[in-house]
Amino acid sequence: MKCPICGKPATPEHKPFCSRRCAEIDLGRWLNDSYALPAPPEQEDEEQE
């Protein structure tokens, strides 16, 4: 398995990452909302009536 951040082989201690550094980079991306899932646009109440 390759590290999703840098592509190096993952280590058992930090799986799925290769190091603590890459794990912390990933955590920082989650905390800064860098990762997002697409969602359908919200409809306004007027359109639903």
Q: What is the pLDDT of residue 39?
A: 84
Long-range pairs for 32-40: beta carbons < 8 A, 24 or more residues apart: none
For residue 47, is pLDDT > 60?
Answer: no
Q: Which domain holds residue 23?
A: 1-32
Bridge partners, residue 2, by sequence: 9
pTM of the model: 0.69
Count of domains observed in the chain: 1
Q: Report the percent of the chain where pLDDT is more than 90.
A: 65
Q: Report the percent of the chain where pLDDT is more than 70.
A: 88
pLDDT tens column, 14-32: 999 999 999 999 999 999 9
Asked whether residue 13 is assigned to any structural domain, the reply reads yes
Asked whether residue 42 is assigned to any structural domain, the reply reads no
